[in-house]
Amino acid sequence: MKLIIHGGFFSESSSNEETKIAKQQALSKIVTAGYEYLQSHTALETVTYVVSLLEDDELFNAGTGGQIQSDGKLRMSASLMDGKTLRFSGVINIEDVRNPVKIAVKLLDKEDRVLSGPGALAFARQNGFDHYNPITPKRQEEFDEKRNQQNNKGTVGCVAMDAEGNIAAATSTGGKGFEIPCRVSDSATVAGNYANQYAGVSCTGVGEDIVNTGLALKIVTRVTDGMPLQQATEKSFEELKQIDGFAGVIAISSNGEIYHTDSHPYMVWAAFDGSLQVFN
């Protein structure tokens, strides 16, 4: 059993040491709880659970505490993919809910599995997800003062492999902040979140760069074709350099390899495969 998570890029929130330590501690706590949960749950159940914990933590740009778009609305996106069934589901630009990833998982068994905007919200309400305001006072203050308009590259994600060897991935984001209303990020697409029986990948960074290179799907495809996970990731990042792209990924392959990398050394992540690792 393997588990790796990320909390986006450290520069998304702050550069001070106090925030850095707080994020490290939060990731440590969440990945430990997630690994314990994985002992008796599937990879799909685990990535949903772990990403919901990340969404509930105001330190990270997903769910509560997400970035606010230029019209003053907080719109969130999230997706997950079950490597066992090859089903992908997601919500895009959903408002006024607490955990977008929990709504995404409800869509896995539906014929229409990616919903956006009002349709996603209507589905959430029909399935018992009550109104919730995810805008925190800090994010509102940042918006009001027009701060943090650059380097807002925060996302959260989780990749897990369960006791049966099944792999799943989930990713959630509050966006980059001050973007054009209803801008679509990579997080609810196969460019930013993908898994099959061979590997799972969750991305963070500049959504447009990740979409332009089809990053998550590209890495998983290369692993499927026989390339080792590290080599597949590094080759994909070489191609990312061609567009001066900014991204980070976490990944697990079916042979148990855990790998992470980023184009700048600021992504915060943690892994647990029997022993805890926390890095930024």
Residues recognised as catalytic: 155
Q: How many of the other CB atoms lie within 10 Å of CB of 183?
A: 16
What are the b/e assignments for 202-231, b being 16+ CB within 10 Å?
A: bbbbbbbbbbbbbbbbbbbbbbeeebebbe
Residues sharing a CB contact under 8 Å with residue 146, sequence separation 6 or more, in sequence order: 178
Name the nearest CA neighbour of 95 among 62, 125, 117. 117
Name the nearest CA neighbour of 79 among 96, 65, 62. 62
Residue 268's H or E segment, with its range, is strand 267-272
Provide the Cα torsion 128, 132, 134, 135; round to 10°: 160
DSSP readout, 81-95? EETTTTEEEEEEEE-
Burial (Cβ within 10 Å: 0-12, 13-18, ≥19) of residue 139: buried
Residue 38 Cα distances to 7, 42, 138, angstroms: 19, 6, 33
User: Is 97 within 8 Å of 132 (Cβ atoms)?
Assistant: yes
Name the nearest CA neighbour of 95 among 52, 131, 143. 131
